[in-house]
Structure 1
Amino acid sequence: MIEVTELTKRYGRVTAVDGLTFTVRPGRVTGFLGPNGSGKSTTLRAILGLETPDAGAALVDGRPYRTLHHPLHHVGALLDAGAVHPGRSARAHLTALAVAGRIDRRRVGEVLEQVGLGQVAHKRAGEFSLGMRQRLGIAGALLGDPPVVLFDEPVNGLDPEGILWIRHLMKSLAAEGRTVLVSSHLMSETALTADHLVVIGRGRLIADTGVEAFLREHGTSQVHVRSPARSALAGMLRARGATVEYEGSKTLVVTGLTVDEIGDLAARNGLPVHELMARQASLEDVFMDLTRDSVEYQGTHDGN
């Protein structure tokens, strides 16, 4: 388990993390989300003892990372896939980590096969593609068979097969009872992988909840209604307090009423309805809306 309690980290006048508190529990994949500059990387580094908090604490199984004996047996992390000597082979890189972490060298071959690099184990890391370096970094994180794993943007550079593989890997690690924390900017992938979300902005906690609960609480459900009598139906829906927008020549997009309520209203008034379909806002839509005021750098949308 990972426990972050009132964590605060400042760099001069800039507060990167501001009183942040959350818990990452075992047995589920927790997505760690936030815009650029939100403090995600600083928080991950504090958990791994690479940053010293100005206040608060970041603990792994109740202890600071720096006090763990043989830490690679407790925590595995991928923060930077490029953190490998380009002249070393994949096997040599992992062997060095195993020796330093007092890990049985037999694990090197096991994790190379696990991440799909068994056939290129003797190839220099400098010749690897970004996707292959990601796999090597993941192998390093798994080397000590740790109960806690942290991944920062693990799907960068992976092809579709690789993305599917890492998704299944993270889910399987959680199913084994491990604590899995994944930081990512890919909302669509997070929606498919994570069970729980920790969302931060400007170093502060925005949400700490399950994915479905997050979408229910912060997302807006819309109902698409296709009807040849849409003008009459739109007036009735607005009279019931719904927000109604026109789409195409026959469709209404309705917010504020359920599918059942819309269908019943149309039936009572004898209005034909050819299609009723509810659409839940996507994780990306909800995230963008919720963190809009926490974005450090915002571009403009030109209508031309």
Structure 2
Amino acid sequence: MPMIDIRGVTKRYGSSVVVDDLSFTAEGGQVTGFLGPNGAGKTTTMRMIVGLAAPDRGSISVHGRRYADLPVPLTEVGALLDAGAVHGGRTAYQHLWALAASNGLPRRRVDAVLARTGLAAVAGKRAGGFSLGMRQRLGIAAALLGEPRILIFDEPVNGLDPEGIRWARELMRSLAAEGRAVLVSSHLMSEMAQTADHLVVVGRGRLVADTSVSELMRAAGGGTVLVRASDPGTLTRRLAEAGATVREGVESSLLVSGLTAADVGQLAARHGVVLSELTPQRASLEDAFMELTRDSVEYQGVVA
């Protein structure tokens, strides 16, 4: 199975440690979501995987080899790290054909990836006139040129419209289903929840979590219960006495944590409080991510 293996990697720029003793594996047959706040070291890690930066310590291998030792890298690893890294004067076709020719790939691969990424109709247009979403598609097309077993995408859905985001999600899922290893970073938690099988979460360059999506959601808990009551004041007091934490929700609801829905219902019945709603709330991936990385956020704004 193809894989990316990162062991004890550290990268410094001057006095700043950007990646700090990071270890994880992205395996074939699944989409690995690579998550973290701005400045967490995600892009630097991806650049090190493809040899654009060198680790100060540790090792990185793809298929058990260093990227620099791959005879034809484009046939082993495809990467989209910067959608703007294209000559604006070249057409989409020319850009892809230059990459194909320099890697000994047949011209038919250019036609194939243009079709797969929905760019066949604009193949003759200059890339400099493309929108960000179209440049993202062109970058994905370039990554697919050599039919690699490993694919790396850094924020690939930036600039895509809803149809494009769904297309990118289905593409990544299909690539993983073909047995390829897909490593993708994104700040869109709702999208990662639908796309990734496995998650690697980093903060300030260090590993925070390495787990499946379902395990992370379970760990985040869903210990919040939404309640609407005939006497919210009385219920709030009784819940607090029972050790629960109660917050005001929207439309006169209460958000209760620390007790299960069954506990809340029994307590309300015991004190004669009529409930019109009692709904367990499932934690979102965004909630879990925010909880995991709350001490790793470099720039925090203040909500008035």
- What TM-score bracket applies, with the shorter chain setting the length? over 0.9
Change (3 A) 1:246 1:288: closer
- Give the distance between the partners of 1:248 and 1:28, measured in 2 at CA: 38
Partner residue in 1 for 2:175: 173
Partner residue in 1 for 2:68: 66
Range with greater deviation from structure 2 (223-232 or 291-300): 291-300
Aligned length: 302
1:274 aligned counterpart, secondary structure: strand
Partner residue in 2 for 1:146: 148
Equivalent residues in 2 for 1:191-270, closer than 5 Å: 191-219=193-221, 221-247=223-249, 250-270=252-272
2:275 aligned counterpart, secondary structure: coil
Superimposed CA distance per residue, residues 184-225 of structure 1 (whole angstroms, 9 cap, x where no aligned partner): 112222122112111111110001111121122235531011
Instruction: Give the TM-score normalised by structure 1.
Output: 0.94
Partner residue in 2 for 1:56: 58
Gaps of 5+ in 1: none
Q: What amino acid is aligned across from residue 19 of structure 1 in structure 2?
A: D
Q: What amino acid is aligned across from residue 104 of structure 1 in structure 2?
A: P
Range with greater deviation from structure 2 (282-291 or 201-210): 282-291
Q: What amino acid is aligned across from residue 114 of structure 1 in structure 2?
A: R
2:183 aligned counterpart, secondary structure: strand
Equivalent residues in 2 for 1:24-35, closer than 5 Å: 24-35=26-37
Q: What amino acid is aligned across from residue 214 of structure 1 in structure 2?
A: L
Quote how far apart the aligned CAs of 1:280 are. 2.4
Contact 1:228 1:250 in 2 (8 A): no
- Give the distance between the partners of 1:111 and 1:234, measured in 2 at CA: 59
- Give the distance between the partners of 1:260 and 1:106, measured in 2 at CA: 61
- Give the distance between the partners of 1:34 and 1:48, measured in 2 at CA: 20
Partner residue in 1 for 2:81: 79
Partner residue in 2 for 1:158: 160
- Give the distance between the partners of 2:76 and 2:231, measured in 1 at CA: 63
Quote how far apart the aligned CAs of 1:268 are. 4.5
Contact 2:89 2:127 in 1 (8 A): yes
2:286 matches 1:284: yes
Change (3 A) 1:50 1:247: closer
Contact 1:84 1:125 in 2 (8 A): yes
Instruction: Give the TM-score normalised by structure 2.
Output: 0.94
Gaps of 5+ in 2: none
- Give the distance between the partners of 2:247 and 2:159, measured in 1 at CA: 40
2:33 aligned counterpart, secondary structure: strand
Q: What amino acid is aligned across from residue 125 of structure 2 in structure 1?
A: K
